[in-house]
Amino acid sequence: MRTDRASGVVLALLAAAVLEESWRLGLPLGTLATPGPAYMPAVLAGGLLVAGVLVAALSRSTVTLGEAGWSEWRHTVAILATCAFVALGLERLGYRLTMALACAVLLGAVERRRLLPTLLFAAGLAGGTYFVFDTILRVQLPRGPFGF
Amino acid sequence: MLETLGNLGLGFSVALSPPILMYAFAGCVVGTLVGVLPGVGPLAGISLLLPATFGLDATRAIVMLAGIYYGAMYGGSTTSILMRIPGEAASVMTCIDGYAMARKGRGGAALAISAVGSYVAGTVSVLGLMFLAPPLAEFALRFGPPEYLALLLFGLLVLAYMSAGSMVKSLAMAAFGLLLGMVGIDQMSGYFRFAYGFVELGDGLGVVPVAVGLFGVAEILATAGKATPPAVIRPRLRELLPSRQEWRESAAPIGRGTVLGFAIGILPGSAHIISSFVSYVVEKRLSRHPERFGQGAVAGVAGPESANNSATSGAFVPMLALGVPSGPIPAVMLAAMMVHGVSPGPMLIQQQPELFWGFIASMYVGNVVLLILNLPLVGVFVNILRVPYPYLYPAILVFCILGVYAVNGSVVDVWIMLAMGLLGWVLRKLDFETAPIVLGLVLAPMIELSLRQSLAMSDGRYAIFVQRPISAVLLAMGLGLVLLNLYSFVRRGLDWRARLALADKGEEA
């Protein structure tokens, strides 16, 4: 399937999902004189639906979905997984430990750097940013159960 | 005129006081440092430093944040020219010819032209801000909900029309951004919309996590996995000065870029991004040697860089005079001003003249500081980029997460940033622009409120938008853009049919 066709279909489906969700959540549409909370989402979903159909219909793309160039997907998955770990661990393990672990994983496991520079960089970055932002700039960053 | 100069005198007495000067300088330094980091643009920079200004008084805080804003705009050009990595979206056009110049050994000249062009544009556009903001504030009083709605829609259409790709795709992305702006509590009825039990989404999706995800994280996802990371080029000090020929070639583009950037910057939209794109197109059309564009044309650096920086000042006009942010960054600036108890809008100039004029004067001072920083210290800043990319991108990610988390202290924002990063990466592959999403998100609450107020005013009659002259003119201009795009689309189709017919004839012969 061509990229424009696929993206047009996804946009149209998204618009349909918004309309369905507005109805399922029971948001009142209101009247023209007093539009309700579902009025604007419905108008926008209508616009997105039309745009999606136009993108698919006026498709000029000659590239198929498979040819769009996804070669770096392994890196992408690894980086996103590490970031997801940060989001999960930030308030449980604390800023410094979570960031140090995430940097160590990115450098050591994903980028295959040597152990010592990896550990030094990870600890330095986590500790340094914590010092600058939490200690100096007073941006409150989470501490973990071990006090850091 | 005399009154304006008198007010400017008051502004300089504020801006040249040592503490304010120090904060302007600190803002410029931090902004430039942030700007040279790929993935961390002015938006993330302002968001990162915003909590640090909570302890300052309003004038110092706003002056420092403004310094970060235009410092980051300047800094973005360094990575664009030397590494072909835009520090942020507005520097994209500088990448093309700036990098080509650097490859030809003219990297120093490109950086110098960019710095001087930015200085000239910044200074001249502040003059425009000085003289246009007060009359605009008076004009703003004529704006009711229908006029605001027409203005906001016009901004979205301008962005879609000027975008490099398809207008339909850009409008689809704008509609998607507007839909994202529907998440949260409805301002007029109090209903929760699409929040799915997340209390944090009550105020809606934040601009910062969405923008940092779509630009910063998506850039890292696209670049980190490449087989060969971008090479670093370090300019030598003696190469910094452009030749006489290069100065001559850059003078007119700097002038045009300044005027164009300021005019576009006033419009709602990701103004500085649009302005650099438009400037590039204009310079290419006016050039006697359009074939040089993409191969290291001086005008391809001078025009977009000037337009980009001029738009920075232009963007402050609607923000200060109307209270309408003209893009995601002024939106964060607006939020910052509100945090400090300042309400931008028509009354700001009357009620807090020392803040308004101090801000204007500090922009002059900031431009001088930036020129001093950018010319001789380019070599120093570039050393940050000598860090190999496998070490650089984890650091950038840490700053992205830190910046997003620091705004609300919420992990939900980090998740939103990650989702947007993935979405931005996919959209790049599918050839969609992401700037309209951010713009749609920023404008959504204002558009919805204006539409509902207008319909309430007119008892549900849409004719109100064409009965009021200002909104009618703005909507007609927007419609004109759509028709122009439609015309070029039909013409391209006809050209294609004509070419096919010629090819068929050739085959028959």
Q: Do the Cβ atoms of B168 and A79 come within 8 Å?
A: no
Q: Closest to A40 (Cβ–Cβ): which among B172, B391, B448? A: B448
pLDDT score for B509: 44
Most confident of the ranges A79-88, B461-470, B488-497: A79-88
DSSP-H helix ranges across B141-270: 145-162, 167-180, 207-211, 218-224, 244-266
Q: Are B60 and B20 in contact (CB under 8 A)?
A: yes
- The two tokens of residue B218 are 């998506």
Please state, in angstroms and rounded to a whole number, the distance separating the CA atoms of residues B14 and B346: 21
pLDDT score for B382: 57
Say if residue A147 is exposed, middle or buried (CB neighbours under 10 Å; 0-12, 13-18, 19+): exposed
CA distance A147 to chain B (A): 18
pLDDT score for A144: 83
Q: Closest to A87 (Cβ–Cβ): which among B186, B193, B411? A: B411
For chain B, what is the total number of helices (H) and then of strands (E)?
23, 2
Question: Has residue B44 got a pLDDT over 70?
Answer: no
Please state, in angstroms and rounded to a whole number, the distance separating the CA atoms of residues B142 and B71: 34
Of B196-205, B319-328, B412-421, B459-468, least confident by mean pLDDT is B319-328
Q: Closest to A18 (Cβ–Cβ): which among B179, B222, B456? A: B179
The span from the first CA to the last CA of chain B, in angstroms, equals 73
Task: Quick: pLDDT tens for B281-306.
Answer: 778 778 888 788 878 899 989 998 89
DSSP, collapsed to helix, strand or coil, labels residue B192 as: strand
Please state, in angstroms and rounded to a whole number, the distance separating the CA atoms of residues A54 and B173: 13
Which residues, other chains included, contact B501 with Cβ-Cβ below 8 Å and sequence gap of 6+? none
Q: Do the Cβ atoms of B456 and A34 come within 8 Å?
A: yes
- The percent of residues above 70 in pLDDT, for chain B, comes to 80
- Using the Cβ of B459 and the Cβ atoms of chain A, whether some distance falls under 8 Å is answered with yes
Which long-range contacts link A113-119 to residues 24+ away (Cβ below 8 Å)?
Answer: A113/B390, A113/B391
Check residues B479 and B127 and name the one with the higher pLDDT. B479
Three-class secondary structure assignment of B320-348: HHCCCCCCHHHHHHHHHHHHCCCCCCCCH
Q: How is chain B split among helix, strand and coil, in percent rounded to 5?
A: 75, 0, 20
DSSP, collapsed to helix, strand or coil, labels residue A30 as: strand
Cβ pairs A/B, distance under 8 A: 169
Of B4-8, B118-122, B235-239, least confident by mean pLDDT is B235-239
Residues 98-127 of A with CB under 8 A from B: 99, 102-103, 106-107, 111, 113, 121, 125-126
| Cα→Cα distances B329→A14, A121, B31, B69, B291, Å | 28, 31, 13, 8, 35
Pairing, β B192-193 against β B184-185: antiparallel
- Using the Cβ of A13 and the Cβ atoms of chain B, whether some distance falls under 8 Å is answered with no
pLDDT score for B466: 92
Q: Do the Cβ atoms of A35 and B455 come within 8 Å?
A: yes
Task: Quick: pLDDT tens for B303-318.
Answer: 988 988 888 777 776 6
* Angle CA B80–B83–B86, to nearest 5: 30
Give the residues across from B192 on adjacent strands.
B185
CA nearest B436: which of B176, B73, B131? B176
Mutate to test the interface with B, among A13, A72, A74 (most CBs of B within 10 A): A72
Of B128-132, B401-405, B444-448, least confident by mean pLDDT is B128-132
pLDDT score for B492: 67
Residue of A nearest to B188 (CA): A37
DSSP, collapsed to helix, strand or coil, labels residue B184 as: strand
Residue of B nearest to A123 (CA): B395
CA distance A146 to chain B (A): 20
- Using the Cβ of B487 and the Cβ atoms of chain A, whether some distance falls under 8 Å is answered with no
Provide mean pLDDT across the span B269-280: 66
Q: How is chain A split among helix, strand and coil, in percent rounded to 5?
A: 70, 5, 30
* Residue B99, amino acid: Y
**Residues of chain B found within 8 Å of residue A83, distances taken between Cβ atoms:** 217, 397, 401, 414, 418, 421
For chain A, what is the total number of helices (H) and then of strands (E)?
5, 0
Neighbouring CB atoms inside 10 A of B477's CB total: 13
Check residues B144 and B43 and name the one with the higher pLDDT. B144
User: In which band, very low, low, confident or very high, does the pLDDT at B159 lie, cut at 50, 70 and 90?
Assistant: low
pLDDT score for B340: 76
Q: Do the Cβ atoms of A80 and B455 come within 8 Å?
A: no
Q: Are B122 and B306 in contact (CB under 8 A)?
A: no
Q: What is the ipTM of this complex?
A: 0.94
**Residues of chain B found within 8 Å of residue A90, distances taken between Cβ atoms:** 401, 405, 411, 414
Which residues, other chains included, contact A65 with Cβ-Cβ below 8 Å and sequence gap of 6+? A1, A2, A3, A6
CA distance B84 to chain A (A): 19
- The percent of residues above 90 in pLDDT, for chain B, comes to 12
- The two tokens of residue B38 are 């790929």
Question: Has residue B123 got a pLDDT over 50?
Answer: yes
- The two tokens of residue B306 are 């000037």
- Using the Cβ of A16 and the Cβ atoms of chain B, whether some distance falls under 8 Å is answered with no
Cα dihedral angle (B261, B262, B265, B271), rounded to 10 degrees? 10
**Residues of chain A found within 8 Å of residue B459, distances taken between Cβ atoms:** 33
Q: Closest to B225 (Cβ–Cβ): which among A51, A72, A137? A: A72
Which residues, other chains included, contact B272 with Cβ-Cβ below 8 Å and sequence gap of 6+? B73, B90, B261, B265, B307, B308, B309, B311, B312, B315, B327
pLDDT score for A50: 94
Compute and round to an integer the Cα radius of gyration of chain B. 23
Mutate to test the interface with B, among A137, A138, A141 (most CBs of B within 10 A): A137
Question: Has residue B499 got a pLDDT over 70?
Answer: no
Residue of A nearest to B228 (CA): A72
User: In which band, very low, low, confident or very high, does the pLDDT at B428 lie, cut at 50, 70 and 90?
Assistant: confident
DSSP, collapsed to helix, strand or coil, labels residue B441 as: helix
- Using the Cβ of B495 and the Cβ atoms of chain A, whether some distance falls under 8 Å is answered with no
pLDDT score for B48: 65
**Residues of chain A found within 8 Å of residue B221, distances taken between Cβ atoms:** 72, 75-76, 79-80
On whether the pTM is more than 0.80, the answer is: no
Question: Has residue B11 got a pLDDT over 90?
Answer: no
List, for chain A, all residue ranges whose pLDDT scores fall below the cut of 70: 137-138, 148
Q: Closest to A31 (Cβ–Cβ): which among B398, B415, B460? A: B460
